[in-house]
Structure 1
Amino acid sequence: MDHMTAGEIGRLTGSIVRQVTDFAPWLRNRGFRAGVPETLTALAALAELNLSSIDEVCNAFRSIYARTPAEWGIFPTLFEQYFGIREARLEEKRRLQPDDLMGGTGAGEKAERPPLEITQGVLAGYHPNDGERFALRADGQILKDVVKLTQLAVRTMDAPRGRKWQSRGREKIDLRQTIRSALRHSGEPFELKMRQRSPDKPRIVLVMDISGSMKPYAPFITSLAWSFTRVRARTQIFLFSTRLLRVTSLIARKGVTGIPYSDLPGLRGGTQIGGALAQLLRRYSSLLQRHTCVIIISDGFDAGHPEQMHTSMRDLAARVGRVVWINPLLGEPGYEPTSVGMSIALPYIDAFVDVHDVTTWKKAVHSGVLRAAP
């Protein structure tokens, strides 16, 4: 591909279109989420831009392709690398050699081009080994605190009666313990030892919304989901956007190191809460029992049909013991749960709480949101 220079950018219109078309695949290999919509927007912007101004073109493309602060910081460097512009001026923080991103160029160009200074050299969710952007990654700095709080929450939960017996209660005589105790008194059974069924592990179904509106809370939500795989509970974890995906083992194995988009097939943009819950009721009905606690983590913005949302929430509340809805927006000043999906779900929710960090999770646990009503 012929690279544009500052003098040629105004006259090589056909070459510009071809290069902009190939720019999105080139960015995807470096961790960006760029596709046909971004390409069409960039091509439309060319008609309004002053193509003789490199900075104007770079800033316009930056607003189109960069979605995160890290992408915003590194974009000028990538723009310079791809289009061959040498006028980039960036704040110094870490030195990045041009070949680190280009994969090698001609020897003469290497000697001529000065090293670039970039503000942020590591993309958010960018793995240096294979270039994959991670859809979910737990916040490692808070995992210890989150796990302790989750353990406390699970200990207070309602649990079904287990199959094993334990030495308490007045249900049945524990003959073995009675004889052992009698041996201390020359074989006279002065005290009858009783036993009863020990409680089973609590049953939890965690349903997480990973649509675009929940992206700011993804690190903490992933940490919370991972913590439920490290406590004494029968936990099943699901993700949903436009469809439902079971990810219990995936969260347990890769929640801390990061789960790339390639491991989450079929999850696209948009949110259909009612449809996802309908799939849960239809495909995983064996998990939904009277001792099950269903925890839904979502902001409640549903793009599906309101009737499906109503039917799904009604049937779910009728089958399980407790429905807890975690909405990270609930603590925002001025927020009211007035969206169609949220207003439909509220009558069927046993607890509606704001959890978006360790502090709010601690407050929710101590208030007993997962504990069944006596």
Structure 2
Amino acid sequence: MLPATTAEQLPGHLAENVMHFGRVLRAAGLPVGTDRVQLALQALQVAGLESRRDFRTTLAACMVDRAEHRAMFDQAFHIFWRDPDLLGRVMAMLLPRVQGREAVPPPPENRRLGNALFPQQGERPAPPKEETKLELDASLTWSEQEQLRKQDFETMSAAEWAAAKRLLRGMNLLLEPLATRRFEGAARPGRVDWRATLRSMGRHGGELPLLRFKRVRERPAPIVLLADISGSMSRYSRMLLHFAHALSRANTRVQSFSFGTRLTPITRALRERDADLAVARVSHQVQDWSGGTRLAACLHQFNQRWARRTLDSRTTVLLVTDGLEHGDVAQLGFEAERLSKSCRRLIWLNPLLRYEGFEPRAAGIKALLPHVDRLLPAHNLDSLEALGVLLSGRPEPIHRRLS
């Protein structure tokens, strides 16, 4: 066991900087506790400070335990330990934006990291408004709300995340009405309801005052949500849980499940009236949040134990996952085919579609793709709005249709 390390055993203010670096990572969302910082101080005493590369490798080995957190750690390391280029880019990200056309789009930055590094940055005064001039060729500008709708969930800051949830709660979600086998009374003439007509004649002494009519009863299509809450999908699935909570207000039956290394029913937890409390109950109830993924095994468990209880010929299944399966791909294809045959339609929501050069090369994606009815992105508010249009049965815009 390594000996306990104190601040006097490391040169200069290195111990204080390492502790502050751990606080920055924690504020950015990485699970870096006091034990990780203490371990890093002990490891630096043994590994030494011969090179910057060894220093970064030692800190990463002590503070990062998941592969999806490595990108955040690398950005924070370069900015915190004085990389002038990236530090200037993060500072420029926090300055007021100047509207205009850019020759080259800036690289995406994680705004959560910027808030963690500069927590005291207040809102800067807005620049003075210029006189409005009417021109025929006006440049295209976007409001903050429109920019937020296109912002990736993974790179949103805490303030943007809260604003996105408010916009999601304000969406008017209407589900497609489907015909049932039952009838209900109708005010307009159509199919005659002879039973209701005879009951009316009995109440009026055998006379026929008016014919009674009926129509086919319609009910919104039930929804089943299967959300991948593994490390690479947790932030996207968290927003999809807010979307499922909003769907539950649309007078339809919504059954929700989360899966990572195991399948967990979360329908009761999402019945909380407050969306934030509902998602907090889900994250407290689920034991494998931000863990690994066993997609084939979880689909097998759902098909075996829950499919007959929750699925019928009218149900729409929303499968939220990136499809990166490391297990038995043949079993994954079999379970996906069985799932698609048990429901009305299977919609796959994949955040990887946010990349323009996305190609289905992974074996798990190739196994799932032949059995889904639609493959849609799910990485920002615009994609969720397109999903709402699809579930409502309204015609989609041409540019949103997938071949």
TM-score normalised to structure 2 length: 0.58
What is the identity, as a one-letter code, of the residue corresponding to 1:256? D
Q: Is the 8 A contact 2:231 2:290 kept in 1?
A: no
1:158 maps to 178
Q: Say if 2:180 and 2:216, in contact at 8 Å, map to a contact too.
A: no
Kindly indicate whether residue 366 of structure 2 is the aligned counterpart of residue 334 of structure 1: no
- Output aligned runs, 1:9-88, within 5 Å: 9=10, 33-34=31-32, 46-50=45-49, 61=59, 64-65=62-63, 67=69
CA distance in 2, matches of 1:217, 1:319: 26
Q: Do 1:206 and 1:236's aligned partners in 2 also have CA atoms closer than 8 Å?
A: yes
| Deviation of the 1:345 alpha carbon | 1.2
C-alpha distance in 2, partners of 1:50/1:317? 56
Q: How does 1:281-296 map to 2 (within 5 A)?
A: 281-285=303-307, 286-296=309-319
Please give the alpha-carbon distance, in whole angstroms, between the structure 2 residues aligned to 1:308 and 1:290: 24
Q: Does 1:363 align with 2:386?
A: yes
1:32 Cα deviation from its structure 2 partner: 5.3
Deviation at 1:209, TM superposition (A): 0.8
Spell out the pairing of 1:348-359 with structure 2 (5 A cutoff).
348-359=371-382
Q: Would you say 1:277 and 2:286 are equivalent positions?
A: no
- The equivalent residue for 2:6 is 4
1:256 and 2:273 correspond: no
Q: Which runs of 5+ in 1 are unaligned?
A: 11-15, 77-90, 92-116, 122-137
Residues 270 and 303 in structure 1, CA contact (< 8 A), matched pair in contact too:
no
- Mapped contact 2:230–2:288 kept (Cα < 8 A): no
Give the C-alpha shift of residue 151 in structure 1: 2.1
Distance 1:329 1:304 in 2: 20
TM-fit CA distance, 1:338: 2.2
Paired letter, 1:272: R
Output the CA distance in 1 between the equivalents of 2:226 and 2:4.
49
Structure 2, unpaired ranges of 5+: 81-90, 92-115, 121-159, 396-403
**Residue of 124, 129, 141 corresponding to 2:163:** 141
1:63 to partner: Cα distance: 8.2
**TM superposition shift of 1:142:** 3.4
Distance in 1 between residues matched to 2:329 and 2:197, nearest whole Å? 59
- TM-aligned CA distance change 1:46 to 1:161, over 3 Å: farther
Q: Between the two proteins, what is the percent identity of the paired residues?
A: 22
Displacement of 1:339: 1.6
Please say if 1:119 is aligned against 2:118.
yes
Q: 1:194-224: per-residue Cα shift (whole Å, max 9, x none)?
A: 1245224421110011111224424432321
Matched to 2:293, the amino acid is T
**Where does 1:138-217 land on structure 2 (aligned, <5 Å)?**
139-143=161-165, 145-147=167-169, 149=171, 151-152=173-174, 154=175, 156-158=176-178, 160-161=180-181, 165-167=184-186, 169-170=190-191, 172-173=193-194, 175=196, 179=200, 189=208, 191-217=210-236
Asked if 1:299 corresponds to 2:322, the answer is yes
Given that residues 293 and 370 in structure 1 are in contact (C-alpha distance below 8 angstroms), is that contact kept between their aligned partners in structure 2?
no
Q: Structure 1 residues 204 and 118, CA, compared in 2 at 3 Å: closer, same or farther?
A: closer
The aligned amino acid for 2:196 is: L
SS of the equivalent of 1:256 reads helix
Q: In 1, are the aligned partners of 2:352 and 2:358 still within 8 Å (CA)?
A: yes
Partners of 2:37 and 2:221 in 1: CA distance: 46
Q: TM-score, normalised by structure 1?
A: 0.62
Q: 1:58 to 1:352 in 2, by over 3 A?
A: closer
Contact kept in structure 1, 2:330 and 2:367, CA below 8 Å? no
**Aligned residue pairs, count:** 297
Given the superposition, is the C-alpha separation of residues 266 and 214 from structure 1 closer, same or farther in structure 2, using an over 3 Å criterion? closer
Over 3 Å counting, the alpha-carbon distance change for 1:362 and 1:40 in structure 2 is same
Please report how far the alpha carbon of residue 157 of structure 1 lies from its aligned counterpart in structure 2 after TM superposition: 4.7
Contact 1:159 1:200 in 2 (8 A): yes
Distance 2:177 2:285 in 1: 32
Q: In 2 relative to 1, CA 9–44 (structure 1 residues): closer, same or farther, beyond 3 Å? A: closer
Q: CA RMSD in A?
A: 4.8
Deviation at 1:266, TM superposition (A): 4.2
Distance 1:282 1:217 in 2: 27
Q: 1:284: how far off?
A: 0.8
Query: 2:36 touches 2:62 (CA, 8 Å); kept in 1?
Result: no
Amino acid corresponding to residue 158 of structure 1 in structure 2: L
Change (3 A) 1:175 1:221: closer
